[in-house]
Structure 1
Amino acid sequence: MSASAVQVEVQVESVDSSDGTVITYRTVGSGPGLLIVPGALQTAADFDGLAGALAGQFTVHTVERRGRGASGPQGDAYSAAAETADIEAVRAATGARLVFGTSFGGFLTLQAALRGSAFDRIAVYEPGVAVDGSVPMGWADRSRRELDAGRPAEAFLTFVQGINPDLSGRAPRWLMRIILRLAIKKPERLQKHALLAGSIREHAEAERTEADFPRYAEIGVPVLLMAGKDVKTTGAGRATVRLKDVLADAKLIEYPKLDHFGPETKPEAIAEDLAAFLRGGTA
């Protein structure tokens, strides 16, 4: 059956993580339990389109990661370990055995699997794992200074250019200012500005784990790797390809018409492959 979008009613539920932080999640659909883990600068509602496309086949629980919405704050002792505990708390509360993570959420998904979360199948889209410098952090200090100075748009521009030095990083700042204003609507830009300080911490956590990259070989369940058109020119794209050779049981699908934000902006383009894989078939 094709994974087409359906009209569904979203239920918002919550669970306490191991450190007492409240983690909310959005639930739709019926069928086997599936978690969606959003990336940096994203919220759970950003994936209502993908959840709706999968709701006819799965009970979809989209995690509202800490620091967002009604979930609790990141906290002063923020770590990837805390976020993987959040994922496990939602998984345990829902009984979900399937998971899809995108970008930094894909990194957290793989980390959760390493830490013992009982998933039967894992799918990730351009996961933000660190290998061979794929998560550069040279931009972070400048971005923090610009945030502290009350210049969130400049701080976001610094992030966009710094995290993708081979693409957006090559363009003049004046040109990127125009591109960002035209390409991203104001409400979305404001959301990204609000989440940027937390995103700096998140990327630092990913970069910190680079030496542990070979450990992903310990993940024994099937993994679907998904990547967009910039698979060879972005850090996330290159890391996805590297994961193919490290994971014990992995398949890679490339989508030449999608960018890094494909699962959020064009969910119908990946939903059918994703559903087929998660149900145990061939994507």
Structure 2
Amino acid sequence: MGSVHSADGTVISYRSVGSGPGLLIVPGTLAMAADFDGLAAALAGRFSVHTIERRGRGASGPQGDEYSAEVETADIEAVRAATGARFAFGHSFGAFLTLEAALGGSAFERMALYEPGVSIDGSVPMDWAPECRRQLEAGEPAEAFLTFIRGINPETSGKAPRPLLRLIIPLAIKKPERLQKYALLAGSIREHAEAARRDNDFPKYARLDAPVLLMAGKGVKNTGAGRSAVRLKDVLVGSELVLYPKLDHFGPEKDPATIAAAVSAFCLDRSA
């Protein structure tokens, strides 16, 4: 474990493992650094891997009253500067933050992004947020979580009847993981709002000159994050897009070996 102070004084912790050139992992919403221990371990043979514990989680400080994507990109830069990380891997909202950090000046030589949570044509909807917030305030986190998963993916989980999801979720997600997601849900609303308020400003990423590996799972056609990876391919000059039809949005956590192999090959490409 290590920690740094971000630009606003907030303590940001990170988990380190391995040896070699530095690689920073930026988890997505509802995730903690430990959720990416499998990916970090799979990369540790070739990299010094540093997984940031994003603010509002674990030993890191709170999101704060002045929360914004900008304060999170300052967190990323603080950890990058402290560790000397040359490469970055971002998942979902973490991939969006990685792009924002690079645009703000974080000097990553290469970035690998799995289903970036970049809002394109309303792909990060927020109409679910008021009801989700109300349910959290009423002490109904399980119902709030159902509202979230139905609202954020209207073409997939959004089509499932709520009573059916009440039966499926406890079977599909173990209790410790559910409790973690419930605890992070209020902060997740603020995070999604940050991505949503930048809807369709993604052409700005064309200014980036660092090579980018874009990755997407089987939801490439019917989820916002999957489609965003495809759209970003046309904007990010010289980027690569790799599809994993057997993986879902949580591919980096469920199949870390496959994702680590792709990230390693891309970041250590000697022909570039």
Give the TM bin, normalised by the shorter chain.
Answer: over 0.9
Report the AA paired with residue 112 of structure 1.
Answer: A
The yes-or-no answer on 1:125 pairing with 2:125 is no
2:188 — aligned with what? 199
Offset of residue 72 of structure 1: 0.2
Looking at structure 2, the residues matched to 156 and 269 of structure 1 have their Cα atoms a distance apart, in angstroms, of 29
Gaps of 5+ in 2: none
Whole-Å separation in 2 of the counterparts to 1:58 and 1:273: 13
Task: Supply the AA of the counterpart residue of 1:204.
Answer: A
Where does residue 216 of structure 1 map in the other structure? 205
Matches within 5 A, 1:1-283: 12-280=1-269
For the Cα contact (< 8 Å) 2:121–2:200, is it kept in 1? no
What SS does structure 1 have at the residue aligned with 2:12?
strand
Q: CA deviation at 1:233?
A: 0.4
What whole-Å deviation, never above 9, does each CA across 1:27-72 have from its counterpart, x for those lacking one?
A: 0000000000000000000001000000000000000000000000
Q: What letter is aligned with 1:103? A: S
Tell me by how many angstroms 1:280 deviates. 2.0
The CA distance in 1 between the partners of 2:254 and 2:75, in whole Å, is: 25
TM-score, normalising length: structure 1: 0.95
Q: Deviations over 1:64-84 (max 9, x none)?
A: 000000000000110000000
**Number of residues paired by the alignment?**
272
Q: Residues of 2 paired with 1:255 and 1:20: CA distance? A: 40
Distance 2:260 2:89 in 1: 11
**Cα contact 2:126–2:152 (8 A) shared by 1:** yes
Q: Tell me the TM-score normalised to structure 2 length.
A: 0.98
Deviation at 1:211, TM superposition (A): 3.8
1:119-169: per-residue Cα shift (whole Å, max 9, x none)? 000010001001111101110000000000000000000000000000010
Summarize deviations over 1:8-38 as a string: whole Å, max 9, x none.
xxxx000000000000000000000000000
Shift of 1:281: 5.0
For 1:154 and 1:189, the matched residues in 2 are separated by 12
In the alignment, the residues of structure 2 paired with residue 54 and residue 201 of structure 1 have an alpha-carbon distance, to the nearest angstrom, of: 31
Of all paired residues, the percent bearing the same amino acid is: 72
Cα RMSD over matched residues? 1.1
Deviation, structure 1 residue 181: 1.0
Give CA-to-partner distance per residue, 1:207-238, whole Å, 9 cap, x none: 01114211011111100000001110000001
- Aligned residue for 1:210, secondary structure, equals coil
Aligned counterparts of 1:268 and 1:141: Cα–Cα separation in 2: 38
| Distance (whole Å) between structure 1 residues aligned to residue 101 and residue 89 of structure 2 | 12
